[in-house]
Amino acid sequence: MTMPSFDPVAAVLLIPIVSAALLAVLPGYRLTARLNVLASLATFLSALSLFVIERPQPGPYVLIDDLNIVFIVLNTFVGFTTSIFSASYIAHELETGRLTPVYLRFYHAMYQTMMFGMNLAFVSNNIGLMWVAVEIATLTTVLMVGIYRTHAALEAAWKYFILGSVGIAFALFGTILVYMAARPVVGEGQDAMVWTVLVERAGQFDPALLNVAFIFLFLGYGTKVGLAPLHAWLPDAHAEGPTPISAVLSGLLLNVALYALLRFKILLAANPSAIAPGPLMVTIGLVSLVFAAFMLYRRRDIKRLFAYSSIEHMGIIVFAFGMGGPLANFAGLLHMVMHSLTKSAIFYAVGHISQIKGTQRISRIRGLTVSHPALGWGLVVGVAAIAGLPPLGIFMSEFLVVSSTFARQPLLAIVLVLGILLAFGALMLRLTSAAFGRPRGSTASAEASYVPMFAHLALVLTAGIYLPAPLVVWFQHVARLLG
Amino acid sequence: MQMHSLSFDVSHTLAGGLVLISFMMLYQDRLYSLLNVFTLHALVLALSVAWQAFIQNAPHLYVTAAIALVFKAIVIPVALHRIVKQLGIHRDIESAVGIGPTMLAGMGLVALSMVLMLRVTAEADPLAREDLAFALSVVLLGLLVMVTRRNAVSQVVGFMSLENGLVLAATGAKGMPLVVEISVAFSILIAFIVIGIFLFRIRERFDSVDVSALDDYRGEQR
């Protein structure tokens, strides 16, 4: 390479943390918002360079493989576009006085710290380090959810905090159990927590201990994925925080927890006598999907509506990974990418809409396509995509999930289709009232940045029509890796 | 051999003591007494971790023991005492469930963790497996405290006792790396929670730290 000293792994970690420190001390909205965008762009570019640069050997702390490159690139890309959206969103919040300059500084610093935490979780090869990184990412989002300090925001942050802490405690207990299982085989100390070493030797681990460990890890990280019985924090956290945070929560943080789950799933699959994690994931995935689909009908708050839609889609993704096999894994991976892009695009639109209308109540939002064509049609396309209409990307990934399930477990596929259709109905019901008809509420023009939203939607549309061959090969390879 | 069985007995006693103190937390109906019992919990944890550091010859665990002693047994209880005093909530704890059912549930949870962990870890060395069974009991009892209390301060106490169980498990797993870092990370987390409670009140956004007030807000104002 032309720059032998350039280390992309160090870059995706150092750029966010250094800029977080800078953003914490620099004054002025314009400067900091631009710096935030710039830092996110730099992180994204360094992440992209992971594709071309020679990969470092897996060390005791850092691992770069085909699986996590997908996650890192997606993470930094959505982080970058959200920072652009956040700049215009936050300007409005400053004008209306919901945020003071001091809190803005704090917000930007936390944004970059969160990016650091998520990137660290992705690159870490050490299951203890991964746990710490997920905790950092969670803590920063808790702080940002409560940033408006209204009654509702503090309550949402508190709920998120308590449930997230319990989740994190379970995940740690599971991590300790994995170490206990590994110790007799790998030996004491550092090596028994290094993921690559664990996977190699997992066949000799005590399967019973590994099973219990996975249950705890599933409960722990599953709480953060927002799976059904453990999802209670998710809608509140999405609804009460600033909308850029809702976008990264749905688009990115859920993926981080999912990634941790997948790593441990691979670990378990390497041990033939351990339980198969598949049926557990399939069940919980379906429960989340159907539960969230029913809950969608009763939502009155637009951000809460899309929060439940995130639970629904995480359910589908976990279901697909639980089914396993090359095709279902491929579909799950594709669905995850499509969901991240679409859901963050929707939140970009919703953020501007709720700012213009001054409310998040769906009943007070009408006729958006008439009063604000760009935002309104953006929302229409986004919701059509998230509901799974062709020719958008989610249609294709959902189609793959459903068809691969029909081939193997027709009964499960029926439940799956039922859940997807239910959710589709609810979303269409809400969309028609919000997007069409006579405009209601404020019709002030939006000072919005449409670029991030339409960029995401264009990507989703392109993926629905044509997936580039190298990407397909890459995803197929990762799908095989996932077992 | 003599020495080994002594070290085994001592760490056993300390871990068992933690489970017992977790039980004591279940039936405290005043915040002050709950805090006092928690202080005892943290003290026993500090002793247990220090003992593990001694028998495992792992000096870094003394750091974890010191954190448990200074932070959890002194700083946090003192801070929570002051918060309780300032908020004027030193009246009875309204627990959501009665003491009888709570104790029964606690026994059930301890039995569950014993059966689960002892059966699962049949081949591990006896000290580690029994330590792990005790640790899981402490974790589950901490969870029970969190579930049965409505008051935010006592939920935090429940969470801290849960976390003590995790530290017990981590130190019992011989040679586990990152234990000190994890205990520091947890201390930061707890500090955030405590500061959070304090700030909620300072800002006067919450009328009370009674979590049942949260039920008023289900998010969906119609």
Interface contact flag, B217 A151, Cβ < 8 Å: yes
Phi, psi angle pair for B29, to nearest 5°: -110, 10
Predicted confidence at residue A4, as pLDDT, reads: 52
Q: What does the pLDDT look like over A130-180, one tens digit per residue?
A: 998 998 898 889 888 888 878 788 888 888 888 888 898 899 999 999 998
* A78 sits in which H/E element: helix A66-96
CA geometry: angle B79, B83, B88, nearest 5 deg: 150
Predicted confidence at residue B92, as pLDDT, reads: 60
Distance CA A30, CA A32 (A): 6
Scanning A97-230, the segments in alpha helix (DSSP H) are 101-123, 127-145, 151-186, 195-201, 207-225
Mutate which: A125, A161, A176, A303, vs B, most B CBs within 10 A: A176
Q: Which residue has the tokens 């010191």?
A: B66
**Amino acid making up residue A239:** A
Residue B213 confidence (pLDDT) above 90: no
Q: What does the pLDDT look like over A323-335, one tens digit per residue?
A: 988 899 999 999 9
- Domain-by-domain residue ranges, chain B? 2-207
Share of chain B above pLDDT 90, in %: 31
Question: Quick check: A301 and A361 in contact, CB under 8 A?
Answer: yes
Return the number of CB contacts < 8 Å for A and B.
122
Query: Quick check: helix, strand or coil at residue A274?
Result: coil
Residues A270-294: what's their mean pLDDT?
91
Question: Quick check: A15 and A40 in contact, CB under 8 A?
Answer: no
Averaged pLDDT of chain B: 81
Q: What does the pLDDT look like over B53-74, one tens digit per residue?
A: 998 888 888 998 999 899 999 9
Long-range contacts of A185-192 (CB under 8 A, 24+ apart): A188/B174, A188/B175, A189/B175, A189/B177, A190/A60, A190/A126, A190/B177, A191/A60, A192/B175, A192/B176, A192/B177
Q: What does the pLDDT look like over A48-72, one tens digit per residue?
A: 988 888 888 888 888 888 888 999 9
Distance of CA A31 to the CA centre of its chain: 28
Residue A366 confidence (pLDDT) above 90: no
Residues A284-303: what's their mean pLDDT?
92
Residues A392-396: what's their mean pLDDT?
92
A31-61: burial string, b at 16+ Cβ within 10 Å, e else: ebbebbbebbbbbbebbbbbeebeeeeeeeb
A301-333: burial string, b at 16+ Cβ within 10 Å, e else: bbbbbbbbbbbbbbbbbbbbbbbbbbbbbbbbb
Q: What does the pLDDT look like over B117-156, one tens digit per residue?
A: 888 777 767 777 788 889 999 999 998 988 888 777 888 8
A190-228: burial string, b at 16+ Cβ within 10 Å, e else: bbbbbbebbeeebeebbbbbbbbbbbbbbbbbbbbbbbb
Confidence of residue A37 (pLDDT cuts 50, 70, 90): very high
Confidence of residue B222 (pLDDT cuts 50, 70, 90): very low
- Could you tell me which residues come within 8 angstroms of residue A102 by beta carbon, excluding any fewer than 6 positions away? none
Averaged pLDDT of chain A: 89
Interface contact flag, A152 B155, Cβ < 8 Å: no
Least confident of A224-228, A306-310, B202-206: B202-206
Residue A125 confidence (pLDDT) above 60: yes
Residue B193 confidence (pLDDT) above 80: no
Interface contact flag, B121 A206, Cβ < 8 Å: yes
Q: What is the chain A residue with the closest CA to B221?
A: A300
Residues B67-82: what's their mean pLDDT?
90
Distance CA B151, CA B31 (A): 9
Interface contact flag, A165 B189, Cβ < 8 Å: yes
Residues B210-221: what's their mean pLDDT?
49
Residue whose C-alpha is closest to residue A252's, from A354, A162, A343, A313:
A343
Predicted confidence at residue B136, as pLDDT, reads: 92
Q: Which two tokens stand for residue A283?
A: 């069940």
Nearest to A188 among B119, B166, B175 (CB): B175
Q: Which two tokens stand for residue A371?
A: 């009063």
Residue whose C-alpha is closest to residue A378's, from A441, A297, A462, A449:
A449
Q: Which residue has the tokens 């001592």?
A: B10
pTM value surpassing 0.80? yes
Interface pTM, i.e. ipTM: 0.86
Confidence of residue A483 (pLDDT cuts 50, 70, 90): confident
Mutate which: B148, B180, B182, vs A, most A CBs within 10 A: B182
- Domain-by-domain residue ranges, chain A? 276-483
**What does each C-alpha distance from A479 to A151, A197, A268, A320, A321 come to in angstroms?**
44, 21, 16, 11, 9
Residue B216 confidence (pLDDT) above 50: no
Share of chain A above pLDDT 70, in %: 99
Interface contact flag, A176 B163, Cβ < 8 Å: no
Distance CA B58, CA A294 (A): 53
Q: Which two tokens stand for residue B173?
A: 């797993």
Interface contact flag, B166 A184, Cβ < 8 Å: no
